[in-house]
Amino acid sequence: MSRVTLHRIERGEPSVTMGAYLSAIDAVGLQLELRDPQARPATADIASLPQSIRLADFDQLRGLAWQLHDVDELSPADALNLYERNWRHVDRAGMEPAERALLQALVDRLGGGRLLV
21 vs 6: CA distance, rounded Å? 9
74 vs 9: CA distance, rounded Å? 38
* pLDDT tier for residue 72 given thresholds of 50, 70 and 90: very high
| Amino acid, single-letter form, for residue 28 | V
Write down the pTM of the prediction.
Answer: 0.61
pLDDT confidence of residue 44: 46
* 73-107 per-position pLDDT tens digit: 999 999 999 999 999 999 989 899 999 999 999 99
> Residue 24: CB partners within 8 Å, gap ≥ 6?
1, 6, 9
pLDDT confidence of residue 88: 92
* 25-69 per-position pLDDT tens digit: 888 888 887 776 666 555 444 446 888 999 999 999 999 999 898
Helices (H), the chain: 3-11, 18-27, 59-64, 76-85, 97-110
- Cβ atoms within 10 A of the Cβ of 61, count? 22
> Residue 16: CB partners within 8 Å, gap ≥ 6?
5, 8, 9
